[in-house]
Amino acid sequence: MGCITLVIACVLLVAGVRSIAIEDSWMILGDGPATMYSLISKDQEILWVRQDGIVFGRESEGFHSRKLTSRERDHKNYYDFEVGTNWLGFRYQRGERDLGRHSQGELLGTLSIVVRAIPYWSLVLPPALLSAYLLLWKPGKQTKAIPTFVGEPPNLEERILKHRAGFSRNP
Q: Give the pLDDT band (50/70/90) at residue 119.
A: very high
What percent of the chain lies above the pLDDT cut of 70?
71
Question: Lowest-confidence range among 41-45, 69-73, 102-106?
Answer: 102-106
Q: For residues 115-130, give the mean pLDDT.
A: 92
pLDDT at 57: 65
Domain ranges of the chain: 2-133
- More confident of the two residues 87 and 38: 38
| pTM across the whole model | 0.64
How high is the mean pLDDT of the chain?
A: 79
pLDDT at 102: 65
* pLDDT (tens digit per residue) in 92-114: 888 777 766 666 766 667 778 88
Q: Where are the beta strands (DSSP E) in the chain?
A: 22-29, 35-42, 45-52, 62-67, 83-87, 90-98, 110-119
How would you write 83-96 as a 3-class SS string?
Answer: EEEEECCEEEEEEE
Whole-number Å distance between alpha carbons of 97 and 110? 6
pLDDT at 101: 67
* pLDDT (tens digit per residue) in 125-163: 999 999 999 888 877 666 666 666 565 556 777 777 777
